[in-house]
Amino acid sequence: MKSTWKLALGLASAITASTAVSNVAHAEDLTLCWAAWDPANALVELSKDFTKETGIGMKFEFVPWTNYADRFLNELNSHGKLCDLIIGDSQWIGGAAENGHYVKLNDFFDKEKISMDDFVPATVVGYSEWPKNTPNYWALPAMGDVVGWTYRKDWFSRPELQKEFKEKYGWDLAPPTTFDQLKQIAEFFQKRQIDGKTVYGASIYTERGSEGITMGAMDVLYSYGFQYENPKKPYEMEGFVNSEKSVKGLEFYKALYDCCTPPGASNSYMGEGVDAFKSGQVAMHMNFAFTWPGLQKDENVGGDKIGYFVNPKGPDGDQFAQLGGQGISVVSYSDKQESALKYIKWFANKDVQAKWWSLGGYSCLNSVVKDPKFPSSQPYAQAFLDSMAIVKDFWAEPSYAPLLQASQKRFHDYVVAGQGSAKDALDGLVKDWTQVFQDDGKM
């Protein structure tokens, strides 16, 4: 999941609203719709090979994250013909399937011998399936993503800091494996002077307007034992969403926000986090893995100065991470579905997927990520692999929007605004979500 309502990313390179691979438009040109961000640049470059092989031109409608969901959900809901292909958010899959926006791909996959067993299982469930955990496919996994962490490797390795940290906490200063360790590191660096500059412990998600604080809080709550519902009874949330473990997880997230974030961090998401890390403001930085290639190349904090680690474990040893990323779908209202399916077939090819990774996209194909050379292909490759192995995702229900709005308000009111208790927030969330599902006739 990367966007829903209005995300301010601030990371995307300058991409025009509509970009064409072919110079001359013709009847078979396909338009692919996605967000305007760095991976979109890589897809434009990659798609030149598709045009060379097929003669089918590619046009791209890339919309900034601030307008991505509004723009394309409106397009789908109005049965518009702008998009032949769309890389839609993982949370759209339920609504898009049930409302007939996407072409069901099962018969096509069978015909072309495209097997979902060839893709990372979590991405198939997260990006392709509806209902979840059933063999009903509405997208091909396209852009793998997950919340992980970067850290200032150069700061962690300083002998004087290593010595001071060991004396204070009794363990070596290193990437944390538990959330307790993460908080100790964050406290250690909070308001510390490094190279004459005041630095802070960690940048975490707190943004209120779209999905930010939900992605951040859930990233912690999962490892504390949070469950969306009773595994034996769908939509039964009492005692699961607001369990004692869930309460402790949300209390931890607030404590981390209160103790260890930089000034002005009350509405921070992906772009603000990148800015905090690149400016040398924080020791650790929560963010989606798609940000890692750009940070690795950064002249000030990249290269040997940056390191990556997987979301830590909770108190009982549970370890999960918030899923990001998207699948690519054929829009059912397109008049060029045959050509669009050719693109899907081409994109699923293992050589294309290998090039996709090399250009900066995150392939979901097993033959790419399970290649023995993959972990050493980039400094962040192993952290990406390990993170994708422990993912969970937010509701993908057709009514995910009001579900998300509720969690945004409840989490922000408690964590940032300090209203009520964690138990109050989660009890309220159960009430809100119950109302949504009752309105949907599911309870």
Q: What is the DSSP letter of 140?
A: E
How confident is the model over 79-99, as pLDDT tens digits? 999 999 999 998 899 999 999
Q: Which of 18-22, 205-209, 338-342 has the lowest mean pLDDT?
A: 18-22
- Is the model's pLDDT at 441 over the cut of 90? yes
pLDDT at 66: 76
Residue 178 tokens read as 């538990």
pLDDT value at residue 120: 95
Q: Is 298 left (phi over 0), alpha (psi -120 to 50) or beta?
A: beta
Q: Residue range 211-225: average pLDDT?
A: 97
Place of tokens 């963010």: 287
How many CB atoms are closer than 10 A to CB 420? 13
Q: What pTM value is reported for the model? A: 0.91
Residue 373: burial class (beta carbons within 10 Å; 0-12, 13-18, 19+): exposed
Chain segment 350-405, per-residue pLDDT in tens: 999 999 999 999 999 999 999 999 999 999 999 999 999 999 999 999 998 899 99
Out of 186-190, 210-214, 343-347, 409-413, least confident range: 210-214
What's the rounded Cα separation, in Å, for the pair 8 and 6?
7
What is the pLDDT confidence band of residue 5, given thresholds at 50, 70 and 90? Answer: very low
Report the alpha-carbon distance of residue 90 to residue 270 in Å, rounded: 17
For residue 18, is pLDDT > 80?
A: no
Overall average pLDDT of the 146-169 stretch: 98
One-letter amino acid for residue 305 of the chain:
K
247 residue type, one letter: V
Predicted pLDDT of residue 67:
86
pLDDT-based confidence at residue 137 (cuts at 50, 70, 90): very high
Could you tell me the pLDDT band of residue 27, with boundaries at 50, 70 and 90?
A: low
pLDDT value of residue 23: 43
Average pLDDT over residues 320-333: 97
